[in-house]
Amino acid sequence: MGIFYDEKNRTFKLDTPNTSYLMGVQDDFGYLLHYYYGPRLRGTDASYLARTDEPPYTPARNGRDKLSFLDAAPFEYPTGGTGDFRTHCLEVRTAAGHNAVELAYRRHSIQKGKRPLPGLPATFGGELDCTALTVTLADDVLGLEVDLEYTVFEDVDAITRSALIRNTGAKEPALYLTKVLSACLDMDDRDFELLTLHGSWARERVIQRRPLAVGRQGVFSERGETSHQAQPFLALLTPGTTQTQGQVWAMHLVWSGNFEAQAEADQFGQVRAVLGVSPWNFCWKLAAGESFQAPEAVLVYSHQGLGGMTRTLHDLYRGHLLRGPWKDKKRPVLLNSWEGAYFDFDTEKLLAMAKSGAALGMEMFVLDDGWFGDRRDDNRALGDWYVNEKKLPGGLKRLADELNAMGMKFGLWMEPEMISPDSDLYRAHPDWAIQISGRTAGLCRNQYILDLTRREVLEYVWGRVEAILTSANIEYVKWDMNRQLSDLGSLGLTSDRQGELSCRYVMAVYELQERFCKRFPNVLLENCSGGGARYDPGMLYYSPQIWCSDDTDAIERLAIQEGTALLYPLSTMGAHVSACPNHAVGRTTPMDTRGHVALAGTFGYELDPRKLTEEEREQIPDQIALYHRFNALLRTGDYYRLASYRENHTWDCWQVVSRDRRTALVTYVQVLASANRHSRRVLLQGLDPAANYRLEGTDRVFGGDTLLHGGLPLEPLWGDFRSKQLVLLMED
């Protein structure tokens, strides 16, 4: 495995355990062309796939039709302005106002291990488990160089790539980057379907499939964050792709700001998929000698349908993106105060809630919004990160100490990036909010965003985070972000750099979170953004878990968690049991269904345990016992989606199998009951066909092959919103 350069054919071959990616240098102009991405190949000679000899675009013989060539050739990193009229990756404006780039191969290097991307989250790997290739392309007219960096991993079928753009200074004192995407995949259309994820607040990551049409289509965010509305991801699927069959080419961006994920089917039946930072409101000034690092894109090819793609992404993120001591550890069962108390609490009430939770087996109390400044409601006080001693006499220290004394850990909510107009901070520094001079910036949840691109603002925020974190024994932080970016203007940036603001903002958040990880390595960090608006691979580099959605209803969560788990490991997915009727939809579901659904994620409670019925309370110790029993399996095992309520509108089913295939946990939710039905036969996955499995709690033993090909009958349950978990254990 690894990366090879075939000198004779000027071809690069990137191999993962089961896939190959080939590209090469075209002879006449030195363009870097894409040849192939798919199942692993033996040889390296695939340059014929670029079809550079087909008329009318044979560059060597027919310079007259260079544009025809540029507009059809499969490029590795296409540029704008010289004749490739499809969507492309790079646009550069000169001081003279021109806008054309043409890149040719200059040099390359191959090395073991992967260099970190400066200031950005990225996958990582050492000399033993990955190989990296840097191909440098150049435009000599602009004095511009582009380093395309690719990494392959020894243990997972993923390739990552990124682009670094450099103004060498040979020609222009300043260049203006107006579009820098991270990755492109040129291929022929195979009647592809396009899969993307969309949503809204409390309805995140809905899976959408549509036939690819001629023209450009895709998803994007211009909201300054990943957003509830879209995910920086796209996949092209061959027709009829299911969880187990079909070919999938997927791209996912390790980034938490504006993005564009676009596929274009062209006039020749070719397809170009591109992914990167959105060009909207983006203009990055590159002075001589400066460079711009675009975020990393993850590429996955699967010939085992969507399930194959999912498990590759899970393995990549668990093995090469998540960091810190908590990523491989069981997380404490938490009790979050938000839905149980909202803003209405004092120390005594919180301690009473915690005591009641501790008695049932909960291990950590998380104090959510409302503990600082004059934060009576969500209209004020963001930025005033000083404990409200009227509510919490003795401060966080007393609360933490009392919780610790009852055997509970203490965790805290913060929203460090925000400022309320009604806050001491805003009264002192109204210029610290992101705003355009002369225009009244729009409010959202009655708050503005701090301009973290200004050093003094970032240092203030960091100072408060650090002071709070060291003021008490805080072992967990929920880092929230409850509005999107608008009125983009920074009083700290010159006019020629205003177009850098939204990117610089995200980089400043990364800087803060990197500081957090270094300064407080043992504190468990959970990112959050009005629920799941910043659920992206970028934030996962800093926090091993992310709050999935503000909708905690077990039935609504089925689709939200299905869409989330399509890309992300279950260990990252913030999921809590909450009270009924549910606060988002008013639905009442059985307690065990709420528990089974939350068990698919990080697991915890978000309610006032004192207000539960006795019957509900009695079930909690058993739920927590299930969590302790299955957490290692759920955190490290292989995930299989067996049925989708989102698709069938009736029932949902997923399975997790341990890596040694000895244990499988099947979770089944019957959303709507129906009379006079047979059991549902579900074909299990991931089991050892040669082994036998006992269904726990019975003396029934099944062949692994029978369960895989004949299936397991799931009996109808009595009532709506019912669920059941089945455990299969390999017989020795």
Show the 3-state SS of 146-212: EEEEEEEECCCCEEEEEEEEEECCCCCCEEEEEEEEEEEEEEECCCCEEEEEEEECCEEEEEEEEEC
User: Which member of 531, 538, 590, 604 binds ligand GLA (CB under 6 A)?
Assistant: 531
Contact with ligand GLA (CB under 6 A): which of 378, 511, 705, 720?
378
Number of residues in contact with ligand GLA under rule CB under 6 A: 12
CB-based contacts of 218: which residues, under 8 Å, 6+ apart?
Answer: 194, 196, 234, 260, 261, 262, 263
**Per CB under 6 A, does 338 bind ligand GLA?**
yes
Provide, rounded to whole angstroms, the least separation between the CB of residue 481 and ligand GLA: 9
Q: Tell which one of 249, 292, 372, 413 touches ligand GLA (CB under 6 A).
A: 413
Residue 369 touches ligand GLA, criterion: CB under 6 A: yes
Q: Interacting stretch for ligand GLA, rule CB under 6 A, among 1-9, 494-502, 527-535, 558-566?
A: 527-535
264 binds ligand GLA (CB under 6 A): no
**Active site positions, annotated:** 480, 550
Distance (Å, rounded) from C-alpha 31 to C-alpha 533?
39
In the complex, least distance from residue 97 CB atom to ligand GLA, rounded to whole angstroms: 44
Give SS3 for 507: helix
Question: Of the candidates 76, 147, 225, 480, which one interacts with ligand GLA according to CB under 6 A?
Answer: 480
Decide: is 528 part of the binding site for ligand GLA (CB under 6 A): yes
- Tokens at 422, concatenated: 């009604």
77 binds ligand GLA, rule: CB under 6 A: no
Q: Does 550 bind ligand GLA (CB under 6 A)?
A: yes
Binding of residue 547 to ligand GLA (CB under 6 A): yes
Residue 384 touches ligand GLA, criterion: CB under 6 A:
no
Q: CB of 552: closest distance to ligand GLA in angstroms?
A: 9
User: Of 605, 579, 616, 608, which Cα lies nearest the Cα of 353?
Assistant: 608
| Least distance CB 23 / ligand GLA (angstroms) | 42
Distance in angstroms (rounded) separating the CA atoms of residues 357 and 378: 26
* Distance of alpha carbon 448 from alpha carbon 91, whole angstroms: 32
For residue 211, cis peptide bond before it (omega within 30 degrees of 0): no
Q: Whole-angstrom Cα distance, residue 167 to residue 182?
A: 17
Question: Shortest distance, CB of residue 343 to ligand GLA, whole angstroms?
Answer: 8
Please tell me whether residue 605 binds ligand GLA under the rule CB under 6 A. Answer: no
Q: Residue of minimal CB distance from ligand GLA?
A: 369
> Based on the number of CB atoms within 10 Å of its own CB, is 112 exposed (0-12), middle (13-18) or buried (19 or more)?
middle
- Nearer to ligand GLA by C-beta: 381 or 707? 381
SS3 for 370?
coil
Smallest distance from ligand GLA to CB 108, Å: 45
Give whichever of 332 and 531 is closer to ligand GLA, judged by the CB atom: 531
At its nearest, how many Å lie between ligand GLA and the CB of residue 474? 16
Q: For residue 19, which amino acid is it?
A: T
374 in contact with ligand GLA (CB under 6 A): no
Q: Can you name the residues that pair with 605 across neighbouring β-strands?
A: 335, 577
Q: Torsion angle of alpha carbons 226, 228, 234, 239, nearest 10°?
A: 180
The answer to whether the Cα torsion of 302, 308, 310, 313 is positive or negative is negative
Q: Output the CA–CA distances (angstroms, integers) from residue 398 to 361, 362, 471, in the order listed.
A: 22, 20, 10
551 is an interface residue for ligand GLA by CB under 6 A: no
- Measured CA to CA, the distance from residue 242 to residue 315 in angstroms comes to 20
Please identify, using beta-carbon distances, which residue of 24 and 370 lies nearer to ligand GLA: 370
Interface contacts to ligand GLA, rule CB under 6 A: 338, 368-369, 378, 413, 480, 482, 528, 530-531, 547, 550
